[in-house]
Structure 1
Amino acid sequence: MQPFIPRRFEHNVFGLLLSGLMSFLVSGLSTVIARGVDASLPSVWLAAWLPSWALAFPAVLVVAPFVRRILRHIVRES
């Protein structure tokens, strides 16, 4: 597959993919813990995941610069 996303969008696409995967995993675990595993799990999980992703994506974009700033103060150069 050829790269197709311009470099200037890398930060946003990183946030989109990271937030999507993390919210998918966390909402899945939370759904299984709360409801157990049954035939309705996929639809309930999807219903929990999509709003979670809608919140997680902008949160990642807003929080990431603060985390980078904190890391600059606590990570030592090798």
Structure 2
Amino acid sequence: MFPARFAPLLSAAIMSGLMSCIVTCVATVRAVGVAPGMAAKWMSAWMLAWPIALVVLLFVAPLTRRLVAALVRSET
């Protein structure tokens, strides 16, 4: 288990990992089709995309939270 202070980092790592995995899979299948070697190409693309997605998400998440807070009404 991780201490609660790591929740934002863990959330960003999981979200960026899942999203980059899905997007690189779709992009790889679209580019090369379901063919021999496709999985290796996909994993190569994913390993490049995941750290980039994580860094971007860490910087963009606070801005996104502020934007969402500005766009929604309080329900109290």
What range is the shorter-chain TM-score in? over 0.9
* Mapped partners of 1:35, 1:42: distance in 2: 10
Classify the secondary structure of the residue corresponding to 2:45.
helix
Give the residue type in structure 1 aligned to 2:16: S
- The residue that corresponds to 1:49 in the other structure is 46
Amino acid at match of 1:75: V
* Structure 1 residue 54: Cα displacement: 1.2
- The two structures have a TM-score, normalised by structure 1, of 0.93
Q: 2:27 aligns with which of 30, 39, 53?
A: 30
Give CA-to-partner distance per residue, 1:33-60, whole Å, 9 cap, x none.
Answer: 0110012011000010011001000110
Unaligned segments of structure 1, at least 5 residues: none
Who is 2:72 aligned against? 75
How many pairs align? 75
Detail structure 1 runs of 4+ shifted over 4 Å in the superposition. none
Q: Say if 2:67 is the partner of 1:64.
A: no
Any stretches of 5+ residues in structure 2 without a counterpart?
A: none
Partner letter of residue 32 of structure 2?
A: R
1:20 aligned onto 2:17: yes
Distance 1:49 1:5 in 2: 25
